[in-house]
A and B are shown apart, each in its own frame.
Chain A
Amino acid sequence: MDPQINKSAPMIELRNVSKWYDSFQALKDVSLTVNKGERVVICGPSGSGKSTAIRCINRLEQHQSGEILVEGVELTADFKNIELIRREVGMVFQQFNLFPHLTILQNLTLAPRRVRKMPRAQAEELAMRYLTRVRIAEQAHKYPAQLSGGQQQRVAIARALCMEPQVMLFDEPTSALDPEMIKEVLDVMVELAEEHMTMICVTHEMGFARTVADRVVFMDHGQVVEVAPPAEFFASPKNERTRLFLGQLLKH
């Protein structure tokens, strides 16, 4: 039987997810539920498993135990499930990962044309709509190498949006950017959040977490240590490790 999406199920559910790289355990019993329209920021020191956790959601990494459900569909080795889930889940990477051999417009139309079988004209119209939204429409016919990092990341966001996903995953979207370009990317992400896109962002931008997130998740050593609304998370973190981490962030 083909997998079916259940619209009343939570957007994403992780239940006791564990993952090992050989003998190293990258995720330890991670459980997290993200509801529709919710914006969740995951933070934590490097190597804490936060990127691994979101990369498991669209199967770029494979979890070895526990369950991951996207709109009620369980992520299994069955390629049908993986395909279905990847269509619902958009992802933005730290290194942008635009396709350098394609123009900006072709970067955006590739998946809608191949996956959604959209006619070219319609795919281009869709692409231009999203490029306009991230304020970069005038660059449509350039190649990625001709754009700045901030522009490339905005294109990457538009490319993911072209598949009209139900949820967006951001894997440290501003970490590879020069400081003066961070704001233009965050602005686009804030707009997206204001439109009630379900989002999971792995980021160190605590200002973004404070203003946008419904909940902040702190991970350390492959575990979810603390989950709280931002006001509470920043004002009175309960866990010692969270306090230590936030203290280190604020020192600079």
Chain B
Amino acid sequence: MGGDFDLSAIAGYLGMFLQGAGVTLGLTAIAATFGLLISIGGAATARWGMRWARALVTAYVELIRNTPFLVQLFFIFFGLPSLGLKMTAMTAAIIAMTINLTAYTIEIMRAGIESVPPGQREAGLALGLHPIWVFLSVILPQAIANVYPALVSQIVITMLESAVVSQIAVMDLTHVADLIQSRNYRTFEAYFVVAVIYLAMAICLRRLAAKAGTRLFAGRAR
């Protein structure tokens, strides 16, 4: 054990910490982008799709929300290669995070769509807009505005849960801490610093999103 708490003992690893934080943020950004796009389609399918398509979305959402993220990650990285699907740890991490986030954001997005009064859709259709344009220009912007805080929250959760990808040796923030403490046995300091960095990133992300939200949805309140 390292004895006294001494941050200077790990000061030399600052660059590694920052790199790890960058990987964590990058993974989160990619998963959030794909996840939100897919969940728009998923939520629309859940709402208006054919019976079999709705069943498929429901099955996906239930499967992912009722199994541990770590198991999903291992299944993709260690399980799929036995079916001939090999991929790098980074790819596996991105896929697992996207799949996981999407299951939750589909449900959030669906609640958002359902919160838009039916008169909005009727007004769009009555104007002769194609149903796809009614969805994209009328319903979706209102749906997203209504559930925006929940979406942001889910993205923050995904970022924090992404610590799990260190288990398949992706060089994320948590893996950096693992590495450092295995080199100098400064376990407490390493995880202390990592915790502070996660905290700072999560708070910053929430603040930035809140600020962007008020600008994005200004003047629209009913």
Q: List, in ascending order, chain B residues with CB within 8 A of A114's CB.
A: 129-130, 133, 137
Assembled-state Cα–Cα distance A115/B129 (Å): 6
Q: A178 in the interface, Cβ–Cβ < 8 Å?
A: no
A115-B53 Cα distance, complex, nearest whole Å: 29
B222 within 8 A of partner (CB): yes
Instruction: Tell which of A100, A142, A163 touches B127, judged by Cβ atoms closer than 8 Å.
Output: A163
Residue of B nearest to A94 (CB): B119
* Also in contact, A93 and B219, with CB within 8 A (given A86-B126, A110-B137): no
Contacts of A87 in B (CB 8 A): 128
Are B126 and A90 in contact, with the CB atoms below 8 A? yes
How large, as a class, is the contact surface on chain B? 20 to 34
At the interface, yes or no: A166 with Cβ under 8 Å from chain B?
Answer: no
Mask of B190-216 contacts with A, CB within 8 angstroms, 1/0: 000000000000000000000000000
Would you give the shortest CB distance from B217 to chain A, in whole angstroms? 8
Chain A residues positioned under 8 Å from B117 (CB to CB): 95, 97
Q: Which of B150-177 contact A (CB under 8 A)?
A: none
A153 to chain B, nearest CB (A): 12
- Nearest to A98 among chain B residues (CB) is B123
Closest chain B residue, CB of each to CB of A89? B126
- A91 contacts across to B, CB distance below 8 A: 123, 126
Cα separation A163 to B128 with both chains bound (whole Å)? 8
State the CA gap A91–B128 with chains docked (Å): 10
- CB pair B119–A97 under 8 Å, yes or no, is yes
Q: Which chain B positions have C-beta within 8 A of A146? A: 219
Give the complex CA separation of A50 and B219 in angstroms: 36
Interface membership of A209, Cβ < 8 A: no
How many angstroms between the C-alpha atoms of A93 and B220 in the bound complex? 20
A58–B126 touching, CB < 8 Å: yes
Contact of A115 with B220 in the complex, beta carbons under 8 Å: no
B125 x A99 contact (CB < 8 A): no
Give the nearest-CB partner of B219 in chain A.
A143
Q: Is B123 touching A86 in the complex (CB atoms < 8 A)?
A: no
A188 at the interface (CB under 8 A from B): no
Check: A160 CB closer than 8 A to any chain B CB.
yes
Stretch at the interface among B32-40, B104-112, B138-146: B138-146
A111 within 8 A of B: yes
CA distance A86 to B121 in the complex (A): 14
The residues of A that contact B126 with a CB separation of less than 8 Å are 58, 60, 86, 89-91, 93, 160
- Measured CB to CB, the closest approach of chain B to A225, in angstroms, equals 27
How would residues 121 to 156 of chain A score, 1 for a CB under 8 Å from any chain B CB and 0 otherwise? 000000000000000000000110110000000001
Asked if B62 lies at the interface with its beta carbon under 8 angstroms from chain A, I say: no
Contact present for A101 and B128 (CB under 8 Å):
no
* From A58, A93, A100, contact of B222 by CB (8 A): A100
Instruction: Tell me the nearest residue of chain B to A87, going by C-beta.
Output: B128
B127-A110 in contact (CB<8A): yes
Find out whether the CB atom of B128 lies under 8 angstroms from the CB atom of A86. yes
B157 CB, min distance to chain A CBs, angstroms: 27
Binding site for B on A (CB under 8 A): 58-60, 83, 86-87, 89-91, 93, 95, 97-101, 110-111, 114-115, 142-143, 145-146, 156, 159-160, 163
17 further A-B contacts with Cβ under 8 Å, apart from A97-B120, A111-B127, are: A60-B122, A87-B128, A93-B122, A93-B126, A100-B142, A101-B145, A101-B217, A111-B128, A111-B129, A114-B133, A115-B127, A115-B129, A145-B219, A156-B123, A159-B127, A160-B126, A160-B127
User: Which chain B residues have a beta carbon within 8 Å of chain A's beta carbons?
Assistant: 117, 119-120, 122-130, 133, 137-138, 141-142, 145, 217, 219-222
The contact sample of 12 A-B pairs, CB cut-off 8 A, is A58-B125, A59-B125, A60-B122, A86-B126, A86-B127, A95-B117, A98-B123, A99-B124, A111-B127, A115-B128, A145-B221, A160-B126
